Amino acid sequence: MNERLSQQIAFLLEADKLKTVLRRTPLTDASRQENSAEHSWHLVLAAIVMAEHTTGTFDLLRVLELLTVHDLVEIDAGDTFAYDHGHLGTKAERERTAADRLFALLPPDQGARLRDRWEEFEAHETPEARFANALDRLQPLLQNACAGGGSWRNHEVTRQQVLRRMDPIRSTMPAVWPRVLEIIEAFCASGILREEADPVRE
Amino acid sequence: MNERLSQQIAFLLEADKLKTVLRRTPLTDASRQENSAEHSWHLVLAAIVMAEHTTGTFDLLRVLELLTVHDLVEIDAGDTFAYDHGHLGTKAERERTAADRLFALLPPDQGARLRDRWEEFEAHETPEARFANALDRLQPLLQNACAGGGSWRNHEVTRQQVLRRMDPIRSTMPAVWPRVLEIIEAFCASGILREEADPVRE
């Protein structure tokens, strides 16, 4: 029991480091970048509030667990910007190595269980993972919109890139999709989201 | 539906402000103070990991909901340091006023439901609220210990104050209590936690 408790405490203290991993998304007041721990809390809150907009049946507890652990691997692997295709290529391997280390801090049964939750989130296959991933797309969109363009503004992101990134919201929360389109169109109109580059440049 | 969705989005964007509310507890690396949003995420993770140490039966989903909303009122009321008896006197009224405003941003049924969760946390009466409150005591203790004394170091906190503050852990997670006592005694031995002042000064 003592050894088990020590492992759990060591894991929780290690998890503290997620508070120092910075994302590209700013807070809504644009005062600073968001970190991955507070982002994870915000997604858990969003799941509780937005659950009624999902299609089909799902287990909300499981969604909250997926969201709580979904970014833990960033403690070692760092946050990978969704529109950075260079780093996206190495993301899976970096995160797998991180998962090997971090979940092994826990007692084996518990480490395996939480690693399964992380793998489930990454696989986008269960209704719970699809809803959790859709929230992980929606929340930064709302924050970017509130912060006047946020991470789009500084990284030459295109309308088509954002539409592809947001697509999981279309199927998972169809009632929310028109709102997503409104936001994207408004930022295209203001010039912050670029139109797709012409094919020659692609 | 549109009005309902707009209210939910407005609430989620307002909730973003919890990321700017600073607590006295430092991160484990002592690099900065923790904010209440990332603290709430850490408690949700701790609930998932430490659930096996609680006595009696409880609903884990409800615990996660309590922890997710438990500090939202600090957006208006600020964080009240647990050992600051001056501010503790006005805490209940400040937080009630904050709850009146914040939960009213949501559609009425949902606002009432989440406000109930917050009131439940505050009342310490259900098994879920007792577990959630015990975690809210344990996590800062672990972080303070890891950060070399943390918020105790700068605020002349006594051994008896910490013991009283941690007492919910004793009944709710009895297996964890000896570890709590070890930490407190170590910080007394090193002089960071003071002994209770003599009665003349009290």
Q: Is the pLDDT of residue A11 over 70?
A: yes
CB-based contacts of B200, cutoff 8 Å, min separation 6: none
Contact yes or no for B38/B7 (Cβ under 8 A): no
Q: Mutate one of A22, A41, A142 to test the B interface: name it (highest B CB count within 10 A).
A: A41
Task: Tell me what the mean pLDDT of segment B86-107 comes to.
Answer: 91
Q: Pick from A146, A17, A128, A150: which is nearest to A71 by CA? A: A17
Which residues from B are below 8 Å from A31, CB to CB?
20
B8, B28, B45 ranked by CB distance to A68: nearest: B45
Q: Which of A5, A13, A19 to mutate to test the interface with B (most CBs of B within 10 A)?
A: A19
Q: Element (H or E) spanning B100, and its range?
A: helix B85-103
Contacting residues of A for B22, CB less than 8 Å apart: none
Question: How do residues A163-200 score in pLDDT, each as one tens digit?
Answer: 999 999 999 999 999 999 999 998 888 888 888 765 55
pTM of the full predicted structure?
A: 0.93
Residue A131 CA to residue A138 CA, distance in Å, equals 10
Q: Do B15 and A110 touch (CB under 8 A)?
A: no
Query: CA A198 → CA A34, A155, A195, distances in Å?
Result: 33, 18, 9
- Whether chain A has a CB inside 8 Å of the CB on B35: the answer is yes
- Closest C-alpha among A92, A157, A155 to residue A118: A92
Phi, psi of B156 (to 5 degrees): 50, 55
- The complex's ipTM works out to 0.93
Q: How high is the pLDDT of residue A63?
A: 98
Over residues B153-170, the pLDDT tens digits come to 777 788 999 999 999 999
Architecture in CATH of A3-189: Orthogonal Bundle (1.10)
Q: Where are the domains of chain B?
A: 3-189
Rounded Cα distance, B1 and A30, in Å: 29
B5 min Cα distance to partner chain A (Å): 8
When CB atoms are compared, the residue of A16, A40, A42 closest to B28 is A16
Residues 83-142 of B with CB under 8 A from A: 106, 110, 114, 139, 142
Residue B199 has pLDDT above 70, yes or no: no
Q: Which of A1, A13, A65 sits opposite B175 (nearest CB)?
A: A1
In whole angstroms, give the CA distance from residue B107 to residue B5.
Answer: 9
A16 vs B27: CB contact, 8 Å cut-off?
yes
pLDDT given at position B54: 94
Backbone angles phi, psi at B87, to 5 degrees: -75, -25
Q: Which residues contact B42 (CB under 8 A, 6 or more apart)?
A: A12, A15, A16, A19, A37, B139
